[in-house]
Chain A
Amino acid sequence: MVRQATLDQLCTFRLGSLYLGIDVREVREVLYHADITHVPHAHPAVRGLINLRGQIATTIDLRTRLQVDEEGSDRRPVHVVVQSEGEQVTMLVDAIGDVIDTDAEIYEEPPSTMVGSARELIVGTYKLDDELLLVLDVEKVVQLEQPEVEGVER
């Protein structure tokens, strides 16, 4: 796993019962609220667009993306802003956590029992003392396949 060697610090966040992390260097900023403009017919994981100081960023709902159950619909999600291929993308998470140092000793490939889209988006896990930290592949998260049914087709 090539990425493992380059991971020094992880920015962590929570999503339902999941504890997730991404390379801290990929995080541009964290936003607490922003007006989201809905985009009809977009991929279900796309929540809409936000105005990020004059740049338009696409907001992806990580719950939908990782197929985590929608339970707390009244949550005030947090935007984690990342840059991908020159475009700004924000990922909606439930709460932002600490930045933690990683330890290669406790790193492992994702468990083979994981299924669904989450399996493809997770590059590995860190076995922390009390729980598992899943490392997300940001590039894959923001890469959405267009659903078969195009919005405008009749």
Chain B
Amino acid sequence: MDEIISEFLIESYEGLDQLDQNLLALEESPDDTAVLKEVFRTLHTIKGTCGFLAFTYLERVAHAGENLLSLLRDGKLAMTPEIADALLATVDKIREILGTIEQTEAEGEPEIDDLVARLGALAEGKPGAAAGPQADAAPAEGETPAEGEAAPAEAAAEGGAAAEGETPAEGETPGEGETPGEGETPGEGETPGEGEAPGADRIGDMLVDAGAADRTDVEIAAAEQSLGDDRKLGKILVDDGRAKEAEVESAAQAQKAPTRSSADSTIRVDVALLDRLMNLVGELVLSRNQIVQLVNDKDDNEFTASAQRLNLITSELQEGVMKTRMQPINNVWNKLPRVVRDLSNQLGKKVRIEMIGKETELDRTIIEAIKDPLTHIVRNTVDHGIESPEDRTALGKDAEGVLILRASHEGGQVNIEISDDGKGIPAGPILAKAVDKGFLDADAASRLTEKEAVQLIFKPGFSTAQKVSNVSGRGVGMDVVKTSIERIGGTVDLQTEQGKGTTLNIKIPLTLAIIPALTVTCDGARYAIPQVNLLELVRLDGQGSSGRIEELHGAPVYRLRGNLLPIVDLRSELGLDSPDDDVINIVVLNADGHHFGLIVDTIEDTEEIVVKPLGRQIKDLKLFSGATIMGDGRIALILDVMGLAHGANLLAGAGEAEIEDVVSANTSLVDERTLLLLGLGDQQQVAIPLASVERLEEFPIEMVERSEGRLVVQYRQKIMPLVDLGATIGMGYGVFDDATHVSVIVCSFGGHTVGLAVREVLDIVSNAEVLETISSDSESVVVHGLITDVIDAAAVVSSVLPIAYTESAEYSDHGGYDAYNESPIGV
């Protein structure tokens, strides 16, 4: 494409985005002349350039809009919603024509007569006529057609004149024509062809505002200027002794400053170039890593110093280049006020949009990725969330609904919050729809909490909309929104309160180009797993560990703390044989809310990797999402966790539901059978169900304090009571007698956190090693050849700590071991 035209397109699009915002601002405060001037200037520039490039249709539209604006600016017309609509329509039309130009390099034959006529009619102060062309192309009113013809003709004529008379580069300042003398400013002469910067006021006004000169003096000086005095206005004032030179000087500086900052301090850079730079920096980071590794093996101070410097500079460079790709979130947000305005007008609602944290920066790829989901959410909110003004008033709310967008950085992530003060999401209709669509049966629906019910809107297929776009709007696939956000490693959370409003929290990473990842190996090859998908690592060690992976309807599962975790073997996914190994490494992953375990050969390290796309010959492989170059220069493939889960049929609805059923049926069984083995001293051991354990901690004995006659420790900003397990059930030694450290099993009962103090934590025992159940109400098992009592932790705690008793009553029903009634079985 012709360079001039592409430059023109870039500039015009920028101008139009600004125009949208300015017009909305203008509707709020119609008297803001600064904004009016800016709007006028933008249209004027477009018009001028069109004349220059011979885009006559575009020029006519711009001219008609400009005409209307000049009347507004001069105060001959007042801003009305009709005018605003017409001007916004003008912006849309211009955008449409620009789109055609971008594709075909010619403007084609767009339909503009109606719009030009409508603008013309409005300019003549006939608001009634405006509705005609808008609603229907052939309105009835007598004068309109005649005017419609006259206006374009006039527009074309004037447009032509404008193109001849003034070059587009001139950027004529509005207001100059009417007050010739005053318009002359020192800044103008020095920056020819640039036009006045929007923020630059006339020097006379600036001096008056600053109290450096008198209004009349300035006017006299301006008059002198217009009579042929070619000195600058400030100079006249100084020469005549009506203003101090220093003040004029500083005003002139201030006047020049904004011009400088916009024109000289930024340049446009091709995004492809930035991407290339980013790639190169990625390479540099890798080379740096290699060199730093080399240095560690050498004993050369000079080399070490250079390497350190290289290290530092590389990091800074990386940061700097990352920053160039950052864009403020406002680049997406600035489209939203228009969306809200149009949609709320269409629906007869009143909605105000507030944006906080506009300057929050994100990588441009992410900006791209969140654009559609955000628009979608906002449309949804206006459409479904906010009530009509009548309903709102009836509810005692302000007739105008508020939609608040908030963005902020938080630990390498960006939080975006979209909240409204509308009616909230009602659980009832959602459940009804979900049952209707067959997602779950009525019985299951009745068991869902309100929060769970509301989450159903994220279920695929809940809405009929197939694709996120800013036009598909209604009815709306929130599942698509969720998937789009999750695809870039983000999360979506929804809170809603009936009658009060809804808040959506979105968390997304800052960048996609460099991500933290875990490297694992399989058959000698390394693979990287994005950290965002990673939940935890499990290592099964010792004899018979492979037996701990069980089969459920032919699918391998592992019992992880009472839950059945579907297992995928990376080797079989990669088409390799699985050897029977004593050690099994399981990487627990999260794919779109579905957890599964991935068996790998070894687990290496976590590091930052530079994500590289795969060539098109292998792009279609679902298993891999990209590749990266490791520190040693070799390539590792990045595993696509979603793809893995799909490939192993984990996400298929039926299979999953089946597993869930089995899990719920087995839960109590599983809970009791995975045991934490505790040593109480004197070779005595007991076990407690792992499911009742929250955490394992170790405290130095000094930290154990006394409060109200009980032993306590300070734990996570709270006071946690300690129960000496051995002493309470009469086994082993006292824990606190001669120890330096005390091991604590942190349990939670009905919201109370309690620590069980023991001598040592010995092992975690799965059901495979539990051999016998001696009696049904007090369970004893044989572990490692020793008879071991299974303690009901809740019962023990409730016997010594009355607070926990009532709320944990249900725990005692398990038929566990009660410390006081049964004598302990020792060995």
A40 contacts B575, CB within 8 Å?
A: yes
Interface presence of B648 (CB below 8 A): yes
Kindly state the separation between the CA atoms of A46 and B621 in the bound complex, as whole angstroms: 12
Q: Is the CB of A37 within 8 A of B615?
A: no
* Complex contacts, B575 vs chain A, CB 8 Å: 40-41, 151
**Is A150 an interface residue, CB under 8 A from the partner?**
yes
Segment from A2-10, A17-25, A51-59, A110-118 that makes contact with B:
A51-59
Cα distance, A54 to B635, chains bound together (Å): 10
A53–B287 alpha-carbon span in the complex (Å): 10
Q: Chain B residues with Cβ under 8 A from A57's Cβ?
A: 615
CA–CA, A146 and B620, complex, Å: 8
Q: Are B621 and A39 in contact (CB under 8 A)?
A: yes
Interface string of B617-634 (1 = CB under 8 A from A): 110111110010100011
Whether the Cβ atoms of A58 and B618 lie closer than 8 Å is yes
Per-position 1/0 for B646-690, Cβ under 8 A of A: 111100000000000000000000000000000000000000000
A154 at the interface (CB under 8 A from B): yes
Contacting residue for A38 out of B279, B525, B623, CB 8 A:
B525
Contact A41 B615 (CB under 8 A): no
Closest residue on chain A to residue B279 by CB atoms: A54
Among candidates B283, B637, B647, residue contacting A154 with C-beta atoms closer than 8 Å: B647
Q: Is A93 an interface residue (CB 8 A)?
A: no
Main secondary structure of the interface of A (DSSP, over half): loop
- Asked if B574 CB lies within 8 Å of chain A CBs, one says yes
Known: A41-B575, A151-B575. A56 touches B629 (CB 8 A): yes
For the complex, is B616 an interface residue (Cβ under 8 Å from A)?
yes
Chain B 37-52 interface mask (CB, 8 Å, partner A; 1/0): 0000000000000000
Give the residues in chain B near A58, CB-CB below 8 Å.
614-615, 617-618
Q: Of A38, A46, A50, A53, which is within 8 A of B617 by CB?
A: A46
Cα–Cα distance between A32 and B616 once the two chains are bound (Å): 24
Q: Which of B617, B622, B623, B627 has the most CB of A within 10 A?
A: B617
> Cβ of B232 < 8 Å from any Cβ of A?
no
B635 contacts which of A37, A142, A150 (Cβ < 8 Å)? A37
Interface size on A, residues (CB 8 A): 31
Docked Cα-Cα span, A55 to B286, in Å, equals 12
Assess whether B282 is interfacial by the CB under 8 Å rule: yes
Q: Does B354 contact A (CB under 8 A)?
A: no
Is there an interface contact between B627 and A41, defined as CB atoms closer than 8 Å? no
Chain B residue at minimal CB-CB distance from A35: B634
| Chain A neighbourhood of B125, CB < 8 A | none
What number of B residues sit within 8 Å (CB to CB) of A? 34
Question: In whole angstroms, how far apart are the Cα atoms of A38 and B576 in the complex?
Answer: 13
Cα A130 to Cα B277 in complex, Å, equals: 50
Known contacts being A50-B635, A51-B629, A56-B612, is A42 close to B621, with CB within 8 Å?
yes
Contact partners of A37 in chain B: CB under 8 A: 525, 627, 634-637
Q: Is the CB of B637 within 8 A of A39?
A: yes
- Residue on A with the closest CB to B287? A54
Instruction: Evaluate contact between B635 and A51: CB separation under 8 angstroms.
Output: yes
Q: Is the CB of B617 within 8 A of A56?
A: no
B617 in contact with A60 (CB, 8 Å):
yes
B-chain residues with CB within 8 Å of residue A142 when the two chains form the complex: 617
The A-contacting residues of B in range 195-236, CB under 8 angstroms, are none
Verify A39–B622 contact, CB threshold 8 A: no
Q: Pick the most buried of A56, A57, A144: most chain B CB atoms within 10 A of its CB.
A: A56
Interface string of A26-54 (1 = CB under 8 A from B): 00000000010111111100100111011
- Whether A87 lies near B643 (C-beta < 8 A) is no
Give min CB distance, A40 to chain B, whole Å: 4
A71 at the interface (CB under 8 A from B): no
Cβ–Cβ < 8 Å partners of B620 in chain A: 146, 150
A69 contacts the other chain (CB 8 A): no
Min CB distance, B145 to chain A, in Å?
Answer: 54
Asked if A74 is an interface residue, CB under 8 A from chain B, the answer is no
Question: Which of A46, A51, A152 is in CB contact (< 8 Å) with B634?
Answer: A51
Q: Which of A39, A54, A87, A152 contacts B629 (CB 8 A)?
A: A54
Does chain B have a CB within 8 A of A105? Answer: no
Nearest to A57 among chain B residues (CB) is B615
| Cβ contacts under 8 Å, B633 to chain A | 35, 51
CB distance from B555 to the nearest CB of A (A): 11
B573 within 8 A of A: yes
Q: Which residues of A contact B576 (CB under 8 A)?
A: 40
B-contact bits for A135-151, CB 8 A (1 contact / 0 none): 00000001010100011
Known: A53-B283, A58-B618, A146-B620. 17 other contacts (CB 8 A): A35-B634, A40-B574, A42-B618, A42-B621, A46-B618, A49-B614, A51-B633, A55-B612, A56-B627, A58-B615, A58-B617, A85-B616, A87-B616, A150-B621, A151-B621, A152-B647, A154-B647
Q: Can you list 21 A-B pairs with a CB-CB distance of less than 8 A?
A: A35-B634, A37-B634, A37-B635, A37-B637, A39-B618, A40-B576, A49-B614, A49-B635, A51-B633, A54-B283, A54-B629, A56-B615, A56-B635, A85-B616, A142-B617, A144-B617, A151-B621, A151-B622, A152-B646, A152-B648, A154-B647
The 3 residue pairs across chains A and B that have the minimum distance between CB atoms: A152-B647, A54-B283, A58-B615
User: Which residues of B line the A interface, CB within 8 A?
Assistant: 279-280, 282-283, 286, 525, 573-576, 612, 614-618, 620-624, 627, 629, 633-637, 643-644, 646-649
